Structure 1
Amino acid sequence: MSKESAPRSSLHERIRSDLEGKILSGAWPPGHRIPTEQELRTEYGCSRMTVNKVMTQLANAGLVLRRRKTGSIVMPQQSQNAVLEIKDIKDEVTAQGGTYRHEVVERVLRKAAPSEAGELGIEDGTEVLALTCLHYADEAPFCLEDRVINLEVAPAARTESFAELAPGVWLLRHIPWSEAEHTIAAVGASARVAKLLDLSAGTPCLVMERRTWRQGETVTEVRLTYPGAANRLSARFTPSAT
């Protein structure tokens, strides 16, 4: 079968895949001149419209910079790490078709331990709010939340019950954050975690630890533990120009 007789949609996808592959593999480094649209038309035996559509998509994805007179070039690419959004656990449950509820298992006002004080950027002995919260999907434990809140940044949390809004949602609505850090690991469930999530001790779990800051001040530190067999982490992303 000749290139010209291939279905237009598949040919378009093949051209885009070929060009993306050369860019993302480094075969075409930043600054490399992309073949002209006429050259691509000749190589693939396709219409001008097909090539133009591909180049427009590559430009929108930040892969190329289109120049009318001098030709398109490959753009510098940032590290291709997925950027994880701070999502509402309720949305995660409902997106899977489940019925959501949460329960505050423990709520303690106490002094920060030395290790916590260092991570939160506060003085030893500063009062913090420690929370343990269970999130359910169809009455089955979906996620265990262990959180410490810096009351110097979020003083209103001191009297908040979190009965209506889970701690993460409440913080997102009341305390704007400017920076976040995620750490993700696979961890065997401890006896405590296994009991709360209704698992056997040692069961693999997906653990996400997160800290958020507001203009350099730590707002909260949280550890979210998900039963590994029932959850997975995915993110869709595109490279961006520096």
Structure 2
Amino acid sequence: MSEFQAGGAPAGATTLHQRILGDLEARIVSGEWPPGHRIPFEVELTERYRCSRMTVNKALTQLAASGLIERRRKAGSFVARPRSEAAVLAIHSIEAEVGALGLPYRFDLVRRQEQPETAADRLRLRLDDASRVIALTCRHFAGEAPFCLEERLVNVDAVPPAADADFAREPPGAWLTRHIPWTVAEHHIQAVAVRGETAAMLGLDGGTACLVVERRTWRGEQTVTAVRFTYPGDRHQLVARFSPS
């Protein structure tokens, strides 16, 4: 039996377009075709279904509009990878984001430096007085793929225990949430074309569009941390939910 001969068409479907749509959708939703799987090319589908290319294109366009597949120029169509979601106004857990995708989570500490703050650190942390700063770089993974890059500054004067914390064993964000309450936070969000070391650590080509979320948190008048998260742009989205005032 051909992989395209069995059921999968929705109940009541009578047109060839609906049959093709139902067959492809069933294989994606069932997991038979996992995220990243290449959909047969249009010419292959026209031969298998003995139909016009316009009919196949219509079905693929509908699957793309529903978010089930991604169409890439010259490369073909692929089963879409699920995007993680983060609430814009929340301090979210990266491990929870990855878990929501049904993928195993891990992280590695790429770099840790403790030093007097630089002019750039002072600007990012909004510091007026001299302070000790820990600079941390971490990579977070969803399965085998890099999920995001974390570049964090911690104000040691605001969080003295951070000087002895083992951030190779516990992600800095999770450690800070457990050890010190914050009272105010702000987010800045922008799209950036990454290059150099950042692109390399995320396994991306130079110039790839990424989503960058920068966050500062305070405890009273004292800045606790400033962090920059860089996400591959096709794997993450931000969500805001609010009510009329």
TM over 0.5: yes
**Aligned residues of 1:133 and 1:146 also touching (Cα < 8 A):** yes
TM-score (norm 2): 0.62
**Aligned residues of 1:112 and 1:124 also touching (Cα < 8 A):** no
Pairing 1:40-189 to 2, within 5 Å after superposition = 84-122=89-127, 126-189=131-194
Shift of 1:83: 5.2
Shift of 1:134: 0.4
**Which residue identity lines up with residue 122 of structure 1 in the other structure?**
L
* RMSD over aligned Cα atoms: 1.5
CA distance in 2, matches of 1:210, 1:83: 11
Shift of 1:231: 1.4
Q: Which has the larger radius of gyration?
A: 1
Shift >6 Å, 4+ stretches:
none
**Alignment: residue pair count:** 159
TM-score (norm 1): 0.63
Shift of 1:232: 1.4
Q: For structure 1, which runs of at least 5 residues remain unmatched after alignment?
A: 1-81
CA distance in 2, matches of 1:239, 1:216: 30
**1:169-205: CA deviations, max 9, x gaps?**
1101101000000000000012111100000011000
Q: For structure 2, which runs of at least 5 residues remain unmatched after alignment?
A: 1-86
Q: Higher strand fraction: Structure 1 or Structure 2?
A: 2
Shift of 1:110: 1.3
* Residue of structure 2 equivalent to 1:4: none
**Which residue identity lines up with residue 93 of structure 2 in the other structure?**
D
Structure 1 position 200 matched with structure 2 position 212: no
CA distance in 2, matches of 1:167, 1:148: 10
Which secondary structure does the structure 1 equivalent of 2:99 belong to?
Answer: helix
